[in-house]
Structure 1
Amino acid sequence: MKKYLQIQSWYQVSFLLFLLIGSITITTPVSAQNDCMLYGSITTIEGKTYEGPIRWGDEEVFLSDIFNSEKISNPYLKYLNKSNFKTNYKSSSRSSNKDWINVSVDNKRHNTNYLARKFQCRFGDIKSITITGRESVNLELKSEKYINLSGGSNDVNTRISIIDIELGMLSLNWNKIDVIKFFRPKQKISDSFGQGIYGKLTTTQGVFTGFVQWDHDERLLDDKLDGKSSDGDLKIPFRKIKNITKQENACLVKLASGREIELYGTNDVNSSNKGIIVNLPNIGRADFHWKHFISFEILEEKTLESLCDKSFPNSERLYGKVFTKTGEELEGVIVYDLDEAMDSELLNGYNDDIKFSIPFRNIESIKPMANNYAAVVLKSGEKLFLGDQADVSNKNAGILIFTSSEEFSIFKWDEIEKIVFQN
């Protein structure tokens, strides 16, 4: 049964959305992590090809990790009414006073760089990435749709590592790489970059179980939790830890052996922590602020079937119905926020400093509730109230819908009653 919440305002939402938490216990197995890891081939500009597990920079190593960049151009700007339609274009900074620029669109400005939009998708939705410049790539989705991207994050112009199935570990400079192709291994792989950190995160908003990125950095059991103790500095591998419990501006760390140690003085174990990310199958990922953290328990290996490959079908165009406040009902291909056109792209929104990143394919409907937030119903039945981002506020650049190959309409955020996505 779907869960719907009655609210009076955005400020009362806080975390009413976590009625859904009582029903969420993700049981993705640790034993299936080889099915979840990045795997493929790297071909160099000299024509040499290596195949094996891949790590992107010092960070991304799993299919559920996110590739970030910016679109070089926006082909949908040409559909705007150039005489009177005004839209808002976002910069990459969340806090800047210049985040939102009011733009009257005309043909002369269609290709200017500052109109390029942020691009995000999970590595599991990517078929290949071709290096086209020092900070530019041609990204191919599984649906064989190509997107030209440039800059926008440290995911471009970085070193890529691969454990070649014959030669072992190689670390390749960006300018040596021609193309990276992602696919699943044909046989079991004995070597990898390590097991992910899998466990149960207890927060002020509920309990989540899944793969975790600690302080946005540590994601493997061989990564280390840093901290100061009464006897000196310590670096404890996550694989030796049973649980971590917050204590004021420090943490009590209990090892698998039963030994307990209080750690303090670093951003791994105090309020300087950048956040704890939990990947949630069929939802997306949630990035928790330290103020929500209570404890984290690393769980033992499970033996259930992997969901990784099933979570990444071929990307499809967004399709559905747009209902307007004037009573119009239109059905067709949708471009959301004037740039998100594929169901593998991500909708971003905050609730009480928790950031959600949700693939559009997991969303059933979006209903603007006010200028600064929206109700997002997931296909799994949960309902979230998200705001503080262009995707879910009046900073949204507009909703474009093609009702045929020749006809289209575009609506502002405050003109939309509801958007319902269809498979």
Structure 2
Amino acid sequence: MCIKAKLAVFSLLILKSGEELYLENGSGDIGDDNREILIDTEDEGIFELYWDDIERIEFGKTPKHDCRFGSRLYGTVVVDRGDEYTGFICWDMDEAFDSDILDGNEDRRKRKIKFGKIESIERRSSNSAIVTLKGGKKIRLKGTNDVDSGNRGIVVSDLSMGRVVIGWDELDYVEFKEAPEGLSYDYFDGGRVLKGTVFTEDGEKFKGEIKWDDDEEYTWELLDGEIDDVDIAVEFGQIKSIEKSSRHGAKVVLKDGRKFKLRDSNDIDDDNKGIIIKDGDDKVVVDWYDFERLELE
């Protein structure tokens, strides 16, 4: 996989499969809004680069030396309605390593606590949280966006589903755990074209290559929606089936057996621009009104 910084307005993304994608700049990931890129080298420590310094980035296997950034945060986040999401965690859209710092005020004292020392964080109110350290001590923190409603979101990257973004008001608590071993650059296949069978309300079925919402056509792309105010982005490669449940939602079944209903996205409501099925030279477009379900291969 490779990223080439072509011009100020777009970048070229080359996938493992060889597929080339031109991405418009303007997010924090690429372009001038990217804050910095840090490279941990074995011999010379950490280098800090900015977007204007970059010609291209080539990704490869993870080196064996210990990363100076620390280990990625991993654990289970429980929302106020009881649902649980387990995976790699990014706190406040920013802190992602156990060496990163959770900021807050304990009474009149400022506290800076490394995430690696934290066992759990429980939302206590809109402006405070109870932090439990690994030694068992509990601390009530407030006064910063790490531990109040100014928090920009807790991101959970679930490798068997996709990405979950949980707002402060939806958070119950997070429990940190050791990350599973064995994940590497080779774990990810680079993606492939979506294939499956579309069934209509009239009993017809069409099999072939799939383009969802006249947009998503690869396994690495995402199906967007919400579950009880929690933003969900499901990787198509992890989906077994999608079944329309109403004009405004759909039931999604994952390959690992999990099931849930998504709403509030043009991916799964009557703003969907159509499901396209291509079989050789033949192409069929099924609109959301006629769509019943999709079974992916």
Match of 1:139 in 2: 13
2:250 aligned to 350, 374, 392, which one?
374
Distance 1:382 1:213 in 2: 23
- Aligned positions of 1:17-416 closer than 5 A: 127-157=1-31, 158=34, 159-185=36-62, 187-204=63-80, 205-249=82-126, 250-299=128-177, 301=178, 305-309=181-185, 311-404=187-280, 406-416=281-291
Distance 2:203 2:78 in 1: 44
Distance 1:129 1:309 in 2: 15
Deviation for aligned residue 1:242: 2.3
Deviation for aligned residue 1:160: 2.1
Cα distance change of structure 1 residues 167 and 148 upon mapping to structure 2, 3 Å threshold: same
Deviation for aligned residue 1:138: 1.0
Does the 8 Å contact 1:282/1:311 carry over to 2? Answer: no
Q: What secondary structure, in the 3-state scheme, does the structure 2 residue paired with 1:133 have? A: coil
Distance 2:137 2:46 in 1: 35
Does the 8 Å contact 1:128/1:141 carry over to 2? Answer: yes
Distance 2:209 2:176 in 1: 43
Q: Which runs of 5+ in 2 are unaligned?
A: none
Does the 8 Å contact 2:170/2:229 carry over to 1? Answer: no
Kindly provide the amino acid, as one letter, of the partner of residue 289 in structure 1. G
Q: What secondary structure, in the 3-state scheme, does the structure 2 residue paired with 1:381 have? A: coil
1:418 aligns with 2:293: yes
Q: Judging by fraction of residues, say which structure has more strand.
A: 2
Cα shift readout 1:378-423 (whole Å, capped 9, x = no counterpart): 111111100111111112121111121x21111211121111111x
Deviation for aligned residue 1:344: 0.8
Deviation for aligned residue 1:308: 4.5
Q: What secondary structure, in the 3-state scheme, does the structure 2 residue paired with 1:414 have? A: coil
Distance 2:118 2:102 in 1: 9
Deviation for aligned residue 1:316: 0.6
Distance 1:418 1:201 in 2: 30
Q: Which runs of 5+ in 1 are unaligned?
A: 1-126
Cα shift readout 1:347-398 (whole Å, capped 9, x = no counterpart): 1111111111111110111112222111111111111100111111112121
Q: Judging by fraction of residues, say which structure has more helix.
A: 1
Does the 8 Å contact 2:61/2:186 carry over to 1? Answer: no
Distance 2:138 2:258 in 1: 38
Does the 8 Å contact 2:41/2:47 carry over to 1? Answer: yes
Q: What secondary structure, in the 3-state scheme, does the structure 2 residue paired with 1:361 have? A: helix
Deviation for aligned residue 1:240: 2.1
Distance 1:152 1:267 in 2: 24
Q: What secondary structure, in the 3-state scheme, does the structure 1 residue paired with 2:6 have? A: strand
Distance 2:107 2:189 in 1: 50
TM (norm. structure 1) is: 0.65
Q: What secondary structure, in the 3-state scheme, does the structure 2 residue paired with 1:350 have? A: strand
Distance 2:275 2:39 in 1: 41
Does the 8 Å contact 2:60/2:185 carry over to 1? Answer: no
Distance 1:202 1:368 in 2: 27
Distance 2:285 2:83 in 1: 39
Q: What secondary structure, in the 3-state scheme, does the structure 1 residue paired with 2:52 have? A: helix
